[in-house]
Amino acid sequence: NIGFINGEYINADEAVIPIDERGHQFGDGVYEVVKIYNSLPFLLDEHLTRLKESASAIQLKLPYSLDDIKKIILEGIKRSELLNAEVYFQVTRGIAPRNHLFPNVSASFTMTIKPARKVSEQSYYKGIKTITTKDERWANCHIKSLNLLPNVLAKQKANNEESYEAILIKDGYVTEGSSTNVFVVKNNTLYTTPLTNNILSGITRKNVLKLAQKLDVEVLEKSFTTEFLISGDEAFLTSTTVEVLPIRSVNNKVILNGDPGPITKLLHESFRQLYAE
């Protein structure tokens, strides 16, 4: 496992973060996760652009240019010798004696490259179980911030109920999953929550919407309720890690007959083509 810290590549398992690191003490930073398929980073430019936007939203100056970050990642992939992997990188407001005020130090960039986490094949052909739970996060969920406590608690709650994902509900409407975006197909129209400060602008979401348009699937970016989700013909989650993952049930209520639907399968196939080419 490759790690990158203090401008150097090291063994990720040996990397050490100083106690006064602001990511460690305050969660004061932003991050990205990028998939590597066949030694190539997938949609890297989109992830780098989002990193810059997240950083700028918290008034954090990146310690490297996006071009330099790209070089660091490409060199890391080479050193890892991994074909299929996951790159995690984060930028924090640096290392300084603990004090809420911004310190006058440069930001810290760290990265790990590890074998990609696998979602079981069964999840793709059977669909996964989900629960709904209250969205207890803050007002700026469009920022990919390190503060993931509500997401962690929601995902654990889902796991405790033998489910894969927790779908978050705010003011009666689905926002997103704890680490995914949520889609429903009803009467051949694809619905997903519109982009506001309530959700992360998922890179998989964006690319799936583009594919849907190309495939002449009608798309509506419109908020929907749990009842609407359950009454759909198909539903799925998207993220860098899970790609397009069919939902079998929500709160133990099965969607149609539970099996992945044709539009879900078509979109996943087309999405896989984007990196298989």
Query: Among all residues, which ones are annotated catalytic?
Result: 144
Output the smallest distance, CB 129 to ligand PLP, in A: 19
> With CB under 6 A as the contact rule, which of the stretches 68-76, 112-120, 153-161, 235-243 interacts with ligand PLP?
235-243
> With CB under 6 A as the contact rule, which of the stretches 8-16, 87-95, 186-194, 234-242 interacts with ligand PLP?
234-242
Output the smallest distance, CB 33 to ligand PLP, in A: 6
> With CB under 6 A as the contact rule, which of the stretches 19-27, 108-116, 219-227, 237-245 interacts with ligand PLP?
237-245
The residue within the footprint of ligand PLP, chosen from 92, 180, 192, 223 (CB under 6 A), is 180
Output the smallest distance, CB 204 to ligand PLP, in A: 3
The residue within the footprint of ligand PLP, chosen from 203, 212, 244, 245 (CB under 6 A), is 203
Torsion of CA 96, 100, 104, 105, to 10 degrees: 40
Contact (Cβ atoms closer than 8 angstroms) between residue 38 and residue 84: yes
Question: With binding defined as CB under 6 A, does residue 146 bind ligand PLP?
Answer: no
Please provide residue 84's backbone torsions phi and psi, each rounded to the nearest 5 degrees.
-120, 120
Question: With binding defined as CB under 6 A, does residue 198 bind ligand PLP?
Answer: no
Question: With binding defined as CB under 6 A, does residue 90 bind ligand PLP?
Answer: no
**By C-beta, is 147 or 251 nearer to ligand PLP?**
147
Question: With binding defined as CB under 6 A, does residue 193 bind ligand PLP?
Answer: no
Q: What is the CA radius of gyration of the chain?
A: 19
Contact (Cβ atoms closer than 8 angstroms) between residue 192 and residue 205: yes
Size of the site for ligand PLP (CB under 6 A): 13
**By C-beta, is 21 or 176 nearer to ligand PLP?**
176
**By C-beta, is 95 or 245 nearer to ligand PLP?**
245
Report the SS3 class of residue 229.
helix
Report the SS3 class of residue 151.
helix
Strand order in the sheet with 108-115: 8-11, 2-5, 108-115, 85-92, 29-37, 40-41
Q: What is the largest CA-CA distance in the chain?
A: 58
Amino acid letter, residue 276: A
CA distance 254 to 265: 18
Nearest to 177 by CA among 146, 209, 141: 141
CA distance 119 to 102: 39
Question: With binding defined as CB under 6 A, does residue 155 bind ligand PLP?
Answer: no
Residues 204-233 that bind ligand PLP (CB under 6 A): 204-205
Amino acid letter, residue 252: N
Output the smallest distance, CB 238 to ligand PLP, in A: 6
What residue ranges bind ligand PLP (CB under 6 A)? Answer: 33, 176, 179-181, 200, 202-205, 238-240
